Amino acid sequence: MKGVLIFSAPSGSGKTTILKRIFDKYPRMFGFSISATNRPARPGEEDGKDYYFLSDELMKEKIDRGDFLEWEEVYQGRYYGTLRSELDRIWSEGKVVVFDVDVKGGVNIKRMLKDNAFSIFIMPPGVEELENRLRLRGTETEESIKERISRARMELSMACNFDKVILNDDLQEAVKTVEETILQQMEKWNVKFETNL
């Protein structure tokens, strides 16, 4: 089994921003597992790229059928799940699988895959800064920001379950630490890495 990387963080911590920088640098190495969700697409998001956007009915059907490696009702009525078929899709491309999942999902996948997975928690500098970033991102309603902040408090207490916690205060520094950590892990797994630079 090839290695699997898990990234989790409270919403607004900067996980997407960090991952984008890393994957732009190593496009041939990593394959993002595309999750399925029944939340509506945000402007600019594409079906089959950012998520598989499913109707409530189809999401429930897939849950009942056992199509997901794990799934969570991350926010009320909003389900997110990792499709088992994503692992084979990405491995068949010869890439390392990357999961970008909520904190509970991250802990669950690590529990299932054990040493075949390495889990990273992206830590925000504080709850106030998290709220700031969510506001500045401009994608959430006031209600959604409140829900994300209240969930963040629970999620922060789960950081100790991850293999590595990386603080995202200075973005540049966080990206560098994430990159170094991943490359170290790749060496342990004996996975060759190539950059496009």
- Please give the residue ranges that form the binding site for ligand 5GP (CB under 6 A): 11, 35, 39, 70, 72, 74, 80-82, 100-102, 105
DSSP class per residue in 137-149? HT-S-HHHHHHHH
Give the shortest CB-164-to-ligand ADP separation in angstroms. 16
For position 58 contacting ligand ADP by CB under 6 A, the verdict is: no
Give the shortest CB-133-to-ligand 5GP separation in angstroms. 12
| Burial track 45-81 (b if 16+ CB lie within 10 A, e otherwise) | eeeeebbbbbeeeebeebeeeebbbbbbebeeebbbb
Q: β-pairing, 36-37 with 78-83? A: antiparallel
Which partner, ligand ADP, ligand 5GP, none, binds residue 81 by CB below 5 to 8 Å per kind? ligand 5GP
DSSP class per residue in 55-107? -HHHHHHHHHHT-EEEEEEEETTEEEEEEHHHHHHHHTTT-EEEEE--HHHHH
Give the shortest CB-102-to-ligand 5GP separation in angstroms. 4
Which partner, ligand 5GP, ligand ADP, none, binds residue 14 by CB below 5 to 8 Å per kind? ligand ADP
- By rule CB under 6 A, what string of x and - marks binding of each residue 87-126 to ligand ADP? ----------------------------------------
Largest CA distance in the chain: 46
Q: Which of 3, 6, 13, 54 binds ligand ADP (CB under 6 A)?
A: 13
Nearest residue to ligand ADP on Cβ basis: 14
Q: Which of 57, 64, 92, 136 binds ligand ADP (CB under 6 A)?
A: 136
Cβ within 8 Å of residue 183, ≥6 positions away: 193
